[in-house]
Structure 1
Amino acid sequence: MENIQGLLDQAPDLIMTYGLKIVYAIVIFIIGKYIANVMKKLSFKMMDSRKVDPTVSSFVSNILWGLVFVFTIIATLGQLGIQTASLVAVIGAAGLAVGLALQGSLSNFAAGVLMVMFRPCRVGDYVEAAGTAGIVDEITIFSTKLRTPDNKVIIAPNSAMMDGTIVNYSTMGQRRVDLVIGVSYDADIAQTKAILAKVVEENQYVLKEPGYTIGLSELADSSVNFVVRPWVNTPDYWGAYFELLEQIKNALDAAGIGIPYPQMDLHVKELAQAS
């Protein structure tokens, strides 16, 4: 009973001592997290106001948030009376073991740093990489978020992005549309080329410079193939592609020039019946 009474007598002091430490620790954690979020937003806005590439701005602001948050955790534990020096040593040793176990994640992190430094692609670019293709929405520490034309979201590891070939369709302001048009062997070559040239020159997307190419490329099994290669602005590529095909088909039909398609001729022979 005397021990219990002694504890009850000490309870106010214990509550005052440890209760305040817990309250201070919670306050430090909340304030630290708030500061981390504010610094992330401010750093992004500052870099954005200076026209820094969004890829770099997002990556740096995420790194800054992580550093401030880690410092907040250490300060919170220190307020609770935990020896942070020994904790840092333990975290370092554990970090080495975790690092060996998470080699893939570390390689993703390193690849993310390389992507920010060398910038093979930027936010808003349409790229083909890591076995997929889409618009780059965000490059984070470990992964890259791609959005496909049919509005699916793909998360690709940064190491997969950097280990393979990256085809960036948005880097250059202009792209060439490559079309192969096959006509029948009965068609007049000069007339066909003139029709194709007229369609290309009147198309709303085709650029006057650097010009276009129309030429006979192949005498195929069932068709005479022409290549049609105009230049368009990169954002207009698919609009030009679909519209040119439709206009060429209509123009060839109007001129009576046939477009062959695979077909099979079947010859039936009658055998004389034995008498």
Structure 2
Amino acid sequence: MEWDKLNEYMQIAIDKAIFYLPRIIAAGVILWIGFKIAKKIVQVVNAALKRTGFSETLRPFLSSTVGILLKGAVLFVIASVLGADLTGLVAILAAAGFAVGMALQGSLGNFASGILILTLKPYKVGDWIQVEEKFGSVEQIGIFSTDVLTPGNKILIIPNSKITDSVVTNYSEKGMIRLELEVTMPYSESFPRVNKIIAESLQGVPKILKEPLPEIGIHNFDSHNVQLIVRPYVLPDDYWEVTFAANRAIKKAFSENDIKVAYSEGIEIGQIGE
């Protein structure tokens, strides 16, 4: 009786082996060939992305994503060859993907924005940009955020979704920045005279560009003085250095030419110059 049971079990094992062995061999061949093909495709994709000028940050990520998707497809084919029921697995993966997507909604938005920034390249590392009053030099462009170094030597980590949802000013795109310096003069003073004094003082600031010429004009009138705007052009890296130097030069020129910059507080009637 025991020999009959043993023979029955052996026959079942032989039948199973005969049934599954070709599938196992086929699965092994598919795994070996599939992974080889996936590796070759990843190399081709990486080379194509490099030729088209994709970002150094984005290219490895896209290549690895393509590799993972291809290898995942190979494993699904192998599971199908071995006779596994993939319906339940697909449903579980879909539910898990939905749950992860809901949990990481903000991060996925930053990720999508990072892909757009790295693809469209509205700015690059080293550019001077301004995002919602935040000004600085781009230190690093990541998938989820952009690091900006401020003139005060602070690192701002700005989420990429905030950048794509805002107006970004790229000061380095044209190779120069126009400073916006605010200066005041009394109503009794002659604007042509002040204009000449400011223009001459700016000529002594070394890093102000000669072309285009600085712009000097009347911006507004308030109760105590005339508000002027002085707009010299500088290289992006010289932004703060020239800002301080230009303000010092204008202050010195006003002092040497006895130009007052404000009236006293309260109501006072003064003369109006040219």
CA, structure 1 residues 92+165, in 2 after alignment: closer, same or farther (shift >3 Å)?
same
Aligned with residue 254 of structure 1, among 242, 245, 256: 256
SS in 2 for 1:128: strand
CA, structure 1 residues 84+203, in 2 after alignment: closer, same or farther (shift >3 Å)?
farther
Where does structure 1 differ by over 6 angstroms across 4 or more consecutive aligned residues?
A: 69-76
Aligned with residue 162 of structure 2, among 154, 160, 181: 160
Give the total of aligned pairs. 223
Aligned to 2:61: 62
CA deviations 1:193-223 (Å, max 9, x no partner) are 2211211233212222222222344443222
SS in 1 for 2:203: helix
CA, structure 1 residues 170+261, in 2 after alignment: closer, same or farther (shift >3 Å)?
farther
Unaligned runs of 5+ in 1: 1-31, 267-275
After TM superposition, the structure 1 = structure 2 runs for residues 1-275 of structure 1, keeping only pairs within 5 Å, are 47=50, 52=53, 56-65=55-64, 68=67, 86=86, 89=90, 90-129=92-131, 132-260=134-262, 262-264=264-266
Name the stretch that deviates more: 197-206 or 243-252. Answer: 197-206
**8 Å contact 2:127–2:172 — kept in the other structure?**
yes
Letter in 2 for 1:59: L
**8 Å contact 2:151–2:240 — kept in the other structure?**
no
Distance of 1:215 and 1:131 partners within structure 2: 24
CA deviations 1:239-273 (Å, max 9, x no partner) are 2211111011111111122222553489xxxxxxx
Distance of 2:85 and 2:210 partners within structure 1: 69
Report % sequence identity.
31
CA, structure 1 residues 85+99, in 2 after alignment: closer, same or farther (shift >3 Å)?
farther
Distance of 1:174 and 1:57 partners within structure 2: 26
TM-score (norm 2): 0.63
**8 Å contact 1:125–1:136 — kept in the other structure?**
yes
SS in 1 for 2:115: helix
CA, structure 1 residues 154+234, in 2 after alignment: closer, same or farther (shift >3 Å)?
closer
Distance of 1:124 and 1:195 partners within structure 2: 35
Letter in 2 for 1:190: P
CA, structure 1 residues 122+249, in 2 after alignment: closer, same or farther (shift >3 Å)?
same
Letter in 2 for 1:127: I
Letter in 1 for 2:97: G
Distance of 1:221 and 1:208 partners within structure 2: 35
Distance of 2:137 and 2:241 partners within structure 1: 17
Unaligned runs of 5+ in 2: 1-34, 269-274
Q: How far apart are residue 170 of structure 1 and its match?
A: 2.3
SS in 1 for 2:116: helix
Distance of 2:267 and 2:217 partners within structure 1: 30
Distance of 1:51 and 1:73 partners within structure 2: 27
SS in 1 for 2:146: strand
Name the stretch that deviates more: 111-120 or 247-256. Answer: 111-120
**8 Å contact 1:74–1:84 — kept in the other structure?**
no
Distance of 2:204 and 2:221 partners within structure 1: 27
